[in-house]
Chains A and B, each alone.
Chain A
Amino acid sequence: MSNHAIEFNGVWKKFSRGEKFDSLRDLIPSAAKLLFSRKQRDLDDKEFWALRDVSFRVGHGDALGIIGPNGSGKSTALKLLSGILKANKGNLRVKGRSSTLIELGAGFHPDLTGRENIYLNGTILGMKRTEIDQKFDEIVEFSELKDFLDTPVKRYSSGMHARLGFAVAAHVNPEVLIIDEVLSVGDYHFQEKCFGKMQEFVRKGATLVFVSHNLAAISTLCKNVLVLRCGVPVFQGQVSLGIQKYHSFYEEETKSFAIELLDVRLLSEHREERDVFEPGARAYFEIHLKAVKQIRGAHVGLQIHTADGQLVFVTATSQLTNTKLNLAVGETARISFSLDMNIHGNVFLLGLVVTPEIEIPGEWLYYNPRLKRIIMTDSRKSQGFLHMNPAVDVRLDSETQGVGSVKFG
């Protein structure tokens, strides 16, 4: 026997894309069709593999992150682990008491009160009644919903709903914790709290499988990641390498765009090329691009993201000038943006997007949110993303006017 908490061996899972017959009325014609067409195939027209030959192992007390673009099979993998879905091929095993959080507060009944739902949800998640009695106060305290315990959950805001959901789930105390993207709900403060609770689980020796788009959370919690793409495992190993791999998907996508990027240069005030900037410095971004297809009336947008993907800043030619980009096939153009770099103390990513005259969501002439790295040096005066050039004036009331005012600046 191996000593792994989770084993996933060559797992395949298929789904049906189209509508199945879901009434008896439709069953009769399709049964007839089945009878007269004898074709035996692995995969029907409407079926597709959501997971293809996925294998991974998680040792006791380890944390595995699963990342990948939308629709890459992350949630499917978790549902297989929890037993909600069954694999078509391959086998998998989870050892020990496991708890799966696919959605916070799944199983809450809207007409029942918070108090009643704590018992209901706790039981659904596998807690004994005595266990819930014991932890009740802790759950309430964690959820910060003491005043709303006797309010029906249907009157809760979505944030309150999620808070109660996480609070119950966090007190199940499983040996294996399987969590789908749940940190994206609630306010910042509560997200931090949930994240802290997850760290605590890992510290206490629980095994964790964690799906998230929050790469910062993934890299803090997990040593290893599995990167999925269209159901295929493309990388498995160290977190930082996995995240690089994940980013590289976007770069590959750029190849089919109508605009080809020839060169991007980050320049200082003195027009020297660099990627390290001082907070508050003026920076110049020179973009040289070429049309692969004919371009009419395009806009060029500039984005700055944090390393874990939060958008910090965005601007576009459409907001700054009336000039639109009209290019014949093969024609090139230079665009130069300049900005005051009022950000600091972090690594940021420069992104570029070229949109057609009439914007269609998701359709770009060019898009790469991670074109270049910008390293902003620390400001000794403040923390956070923004460089706001702080100054302060402190006076003691006891001191008379004009005598010892203390200035920091």
Chain B
Amino acid sequence: MSTGLNPAAAGGPISRGFLPNEEFAQYKALLFMLAWRDIRVRYKQSIMGFAWAILMPVLIIGSGLIVMIAFSTISGRPLNKLDVLSVAVKSVPWAFFVGAIRFATNSLIMNKELVTKIYFPREILPLASVLANLFDFLVAGAVLAVVLLVARVGASVYLLWVPFLLLLLILLSAGLAILLACANLFFRDVKYLVEVALTYGIFFTPVFYSASTLGRLGILLSLNPVGPILEGLRDVIILQRSPNLPWLAYSASWALVGFLASWKIFQRAESSFAESV
């Protein structure tokens, strides 16, 4: 289905710099519809229903706890409440990141029928996967908020950072999602590489511990652009202090440049999706 001027029109690469309003509204509706479909199908199939959204974060927090107990046993430093809550605050967005990337990578392949039979901007597919995982994230986030309230973590002015930090995380995920979905369409082994990277990624990301505990090696951990965002969330929610601005700027540039570059690459490759999938 295509509306208005057909993008197949020009001989050059498909360009959709500015969409007419009607078309934009249509594709926005499609984005939400496909995200709704993914959510609906997931919750319909599982007996657990909404518990599904919490399962992944709970598992990650659980493993985080074990790692921390091990640390404290070795170092002799007792486990404190804030450390545990920090792990929780970082695990939930990490679970979103992992879920979004995993689903988005397969999104074009899984919707082969749509890619080969119907026209619409293909970015919608990986973006819908990110959006569907964002829904899970919101469910898990709401539960986390209750936990934090019960644990008497107070509010501070620094909480105003939260929307911005989440936006960065979403932008970073979306950029990577678009790029990997596209790569996976042409090279089917990309999804295995992604799977491996996501499984071990948690050790290269400050989720269970903060970058600072590694001393100078911590910088390496922060080079992972997800790191400063997670640390930032912990700073503003648990420690109630300003995030590390230079590192955050570093992540932000990754998110922004990454997203734009991925989109550009995606649009370049898009015209050959239907015959390559």
Contact = CB atoms under 8 A, between A and B. Distances in A.
With a 10 A CB-CB cut-off, give which of A97, A106, A126, A128 has the most chain B CB atoms. Answer: A126
B118 interface: yes
B37 A112 contact: yes
Contacts of A166: none
A252 interface: no
B41 A100 contact: no
B10 interface: yes
Interface residues of B, number: 41
Contact of B117 (A20, A102, A120, A129): A102
A84 interface: yes
A85 B122 CA distance: 12
Interface stretch (B94-102, B187-195, B200-208, B213-221): B187-195
Given A85-B274, A91-B9, A124 B187 contact: no
A22 B8 contact: no
Given A24-B189, A84-B117, A97 B4 contact: yes
Nearest to A6: B6
Contact of B40 (A15, A23, A100, A116): A116
B44 interface: yes
Contacts of B3: 97-98, 126
Nearest to A152: B44
Interface string A92-111: 11111111101100110101
With a 10 A CB-CB cut-off, give which of B30, B113, B117 has the most chain A CB atoms. Answer: B117
B44 A22 contact: no
A342 interface: no
B116 interface: yes
Interface string A17-35: 0001111110100000000
A349 interface: no
Interface in B93-125: 113-120
A107 B272 CA distance: 20
B1 interface: yes
Interface residues of A, number: 47
A92 B8 contact: yes
A103 B117 contact: yes
A360 to B, nearest CB: 32
Contacts of A96: 4
B65 to A, nearest CB: 35
Nearest to B44: A111
Given A100-B1, A124-B30, A128-B29, 16 more contacts: A82-B8, A84-B117, A86-B14, A87-B8, A87-B11, A91-B10, A97-B3, A97-B4, A98-B1, A98-B2, A99-B1, A107-B113, A111-B45, A112-B37, A119-B33, A124-B1
Interface of B: 1-11, 14, 25-26, 29-30, 33, 37, 40-41, 44-45, 113-120, 186-190, 193, 271-272, 274-276
17 contacts: A16-B275, A22-B187, A23-B188, A79-B274, A82-B119, A83-B14, A84-B115, A84-B274, A94-B6, A97-B3, A98-B6, A106-B114, A112-B41, A116-B37, A125-B118, A126-B26, A128-B26
* Top 9 A-B residue pairs of the complex, sorted by shortest distance between their CB atoms: A86-B271, A106-B117, A83-B8, A83-B119, A94-B6, A123-B33, A126-B1, A23-B189, A102-B117
